[in-house]
Structure 1
């Protein structure tokens, strides 16, 4: 039996933001073939370094891993957007400096997840969040560049949530940075199509939406 495990943050662990509606994990279970299983180990609020605490909880019979994390790292760094800068170049340099630690942490996380020897996919951070402005979306693009390059470097599939969740209805009215039941359904659909359709033996990065 195939067994899909979701690691990461509230993109997957979104039950509290969709009360009385199916969270992402349940939507994934409904979308998988009847003889497949899905388990949630993602934790709302976790950053990239938090994946280390999730790995021991990955079931030994897991056959596929899907990781969506990094949004909280970007959120923690968002205070930099309010820092003064003499020029646009100086502002960009400040953002670049903030990415050094994120890049190192994300790269190390990818290696630790891949060390489990399971077919694995990673997700970008969605950016159509209703409360985000142009500056936030531009800075977030830099974080997504790190994620995309890490997936490509490892030859792993990438689910691009920027495209998957591109409408205001994809975000929870209780917290605009979390997926709604509508967005969750789109995320679950992308996951189910990816695990069923991607050739993990190819060592090639394919973008799924």
Structure 2
């Protein structure tokens, strides 16, 4: 038995969500996130990939039905594909800033409802869990400032869900802060994947305090893990 807040000697981390974790197709011969996570975890630990490239928030329910019986930790990175589905709003006409904000608010409400339902399903497993923010796009991209600003309305939903449900939060916006962390504007490179894997391993090994949200966002937290 593991006492709350103390590290486990073994465990089984399951990755849920989309291509942020299922990034093998984008890194060529370099290691993908699940491979890197298995390297970061200590002996006796396992990691399983249930995340699937292209999946959206509603697909996490299907992934949860596939959980291994011995799963001990869940980490979810999803919502980016849902956000892409709203990309056309950036081209919508708006009479003034207030009108534009009202359009964004309606989109945020829609996203928040879906994300909260997904996060509740994850939390209902009773397993120590974490969700990930949607990271920005490479800063050298032509639409970087627009995308970063638009994603803020979705990331607000993610952070609110994490804090309201008492599950942990891995902030990929701060972890993947260099252009080399991206294989393309959407998926992580092997370098970015290494940062993500170390953050996940840190979350899993630091012990779990029920109802408390731990935030992992600082690169210095990853050193030596």
Match in the other structure for 1:170:
181
Q: Which has the higher helix share?
A: 1
- In structure 1, what is the Cα distance between the partners aligned to 2:111 and 2:185? 23
Equivalent position SS for 1:201: coil
- In structure 2, what is the Cα distance between the partners aligned to 1:89 and 1:134? 20
Matched, 1:53 2:62: yes
Equivalent position SS for 1:116: coil
Match in the other structure for 1:201:
209
Matched, 1:71 2:71: no
- In structure 1, what is the Cα distance between the partners aligned to 2:30 and 2:165? 35
Equivalent position SS for 2:86: helix
Post-superposition CA distance 1:155-184 (Å, at most 9, x none): 111000000001000000xx3210000000
Match in the other structure for 2:26:
17
Deviation at 1:99, TM superposition (A): 1.4
Equivalent position SS for 1:65: strand
Contact 1:128 1:166 (8 Å CA) reproduced: no
Deviation at 1:202, TM superposition (A): 4.2
Match in the other structure for 2:104:
95
Give 2:119's match in structure 1, choosing from 110, 124, 127.
110
Equivalent position SS for 1:122: strand
Root-mean-square deviation (Å) = 1.1
- In structure 1, what is the Cα distance between the partners aligned to 2:96 and 2:146? 14
Matched, 1:150 2:158: no
Contact 1:128 1:167 (8 Å CA) reproduced: no
Deviation at 1:205, TM superposition (A): 1.2
Return 5+ residue gaps in structure 2 as ranges: 1-9, 218-225
Contact 2:137 2:144 (8 Å CA) reproduced: no
- In structure 1, what is the Cα distance between the partners aligned to 2:204 and 2:11? 10
- In structure 2, what is the Cα distance between the partners aligned to 1:187 and 1:81? 29
Equivalent position SS for 1:158: strand
Of 122-131 and 60-69, the range deviating more from structure 2: 122-131
Equivalent position SS for 1:136: helix
Normalising by structure 1, what TM-score?
A: 0.95
Post-superposition CA distance 1:10-64 (Å, at most 9, x none): 0000000001111000000000001100000001011111111111111111000
Return 5+ residue gaps in structure 1 as ranges: none
Match in the other structure for 1:42:
51
